[in-house]
C-alpha cells in the first residue's frame, strides 16, 4: 500500500508570492491534516479535512488555506508569503477519527 | 501551541542500552501517539495508546500512560544506532476539539545512539 505522498519535496519562493502544496493520502483514508514544523515553534496544527469538509483549523492567519477533493487528495495554499513561513510542511492521513495518523515526507518551503 | 514538554530534550546513549523518554501534557486526551523523525523528514508512527490503557508494547518499544499525572513514557530497549532520531509524543483531544483529528505535539527528544 502506498504511503502518503507530498509534492513537491522542496520549494524556494520569494516574499509576497503564493504557493500550493499537494498531499495524496493513503488509499481509503478520508482524513487529511496539515502541520507546520519550524525550529522555533515545533509542530503546529494547521487544519484538517474530512470528506472535503474542513473540520478543524489551527491558529494560523487567513493566508493559510486548504481544500480537499473528492478523491481525498488535499492541497494547502499560502498566499503573500513571509520569511517566517519557511518551514517543513507535513501532511498526515488517517482512516477515521482517533486513529493513527500517517505522515508524508513533507515539503520543505524556503521563503527568500 | 505545544501540548506539553518532553524530557529530556536530548539523550545520548551507547548501543545496547535502554532509552527512556517522558512526555507531559496539559488537557484531557483520547489517545496519545509516539512518532519518530529522522533529520527533518516525515514522522513515522510508532505506537498509539488509548486513554483507558496503561501500558502497550510493540517490539522493542514500551509505552506507559498515566492519565492522573498527564504523562507518558516511551522506553526503547536494546537501542541501535538506527534508533538515532527525534521522538515526539502527540495527543489527540477529539472531544475537546468538537470533532475531527487534531494532534498536539510535544517539543521532542533528540536521541543519539552511539556505537
Question: In this predicted structure, what is the pLDDT of residue B99?
Answer: 67
Rounded Cα gap, residues A10 and A8, in angstroms: 6
Asked whether the beta carbons of A102 and A94 are under 8 A apart, the reply is: yes
**Alpha carbons B95 and B99: distance in angstroms, whole number:** 6
Rounded CA separation A109/A20 (Å)? 10
Q: Along the 115 residues of chain B, how does pLDDT read in single tens digits?
A: 445 688 899 999 999 999 999 999 998 888 999 999 998 788 999 999 999 999 999 999 999 999 999 999 999 999 999 999 999 999 987 656 666 778 899 999 999 999 9
Contacts of B72 (CB under 8 A, 6+ apart): B22, B23, B25, B32, B34, B49, B63, B64, B65, B66, B89
Give the tens place of pLDDT for each residue, B6-35. 889 999 999 999 999 999 999 888 899 999
Nearest to A112 by CA among A89, A92, A82: A82
Contact A111, A83 (CB under 8 A): yes
Judging contacts by C-beta atoms under 8 Å, the chain A residues touching residue B90 are: 43, 101
The shortest C-alpha distance from B30 to chain A (Å) reads 7
> B40–A56: do the CB atoms touch at under 8 Å?
no
Question: Which residues in chain A show pLDDT less than 50?
Answer: none
B62 touches chain A (CB under 8 A): no
Over the stretch A14-34, which tens digit does the pLDDT of each residue have? 999 999 999 999 999 999 999
Pairing of strands A19-24, B71-76: unpaired
> Are the beta carbons of B2 and A50 separated by less than 8 Å?
no
Amino acid at each position: 500500500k502506498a504511503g502518503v505522498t507530498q509534492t513537491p519535496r522542496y520549494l524556494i519562493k520569494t516574499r509576497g508570492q503564493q504557493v500550493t502544496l499537494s498531499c495524496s493520502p493513503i488509499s481509503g483514508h478520508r482524513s487529511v491534516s496539515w502541520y507546520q514544523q519550524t525550529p522555533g515553534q515545533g509542530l503546529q496544527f494547521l487544519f484538517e479535512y474530512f470528506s472535503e469538509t474542513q473540520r478543524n483549523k489551527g491558529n494560523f492567519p487567513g493566508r493559510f488555506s486548504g481544500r480537499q477533493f473528492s478523491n481525498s487528495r488535499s492541497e494547502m495554499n499560502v498566499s503573500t508569503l513571509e520569511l517566517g513561513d519557511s518551514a517543513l510542511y507535513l501532511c498526515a492521513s488517517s482512516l477515521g477519527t482517533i486513529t493513527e495518523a500517517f505522515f508524508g515526507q513533507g515539503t520543505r518551503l524556503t521563503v527568500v | 501551541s505545544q501540548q506539553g514538554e518532553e524530557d529530556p530534550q536530548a539523550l545520548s546513549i551507547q548501543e545496547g542500552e535502554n532509552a527512556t523518554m517522558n512526555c507531559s501534557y496539559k488537557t484531557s486526551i483520547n489517545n496519545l501517539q509516539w512518532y519518530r523523525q529522522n533529520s527533518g523528514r516525515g514522522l513515522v508512527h510508532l505506537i498509539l495508546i488509548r486513554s483507558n490503557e496503561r501500558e502497550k508494547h510493540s517490539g522493542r518499544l514500551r509505552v506507559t500512560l498515566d492519565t492522573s499525572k498527564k504523562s507518558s513514557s516511551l522506553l526503547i530497549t536494546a537501542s541501535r544506532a538506527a534508533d538515532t532520531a527525534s521522538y515526539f509524543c502527540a495527543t489527540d483531544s477529539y472531544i475537546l476539539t468538537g470533532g475531527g483529528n487534531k494532534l498536539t505535539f510535544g517539543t521532542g527528544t533528540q536521541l543519539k545512539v552511539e556505537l
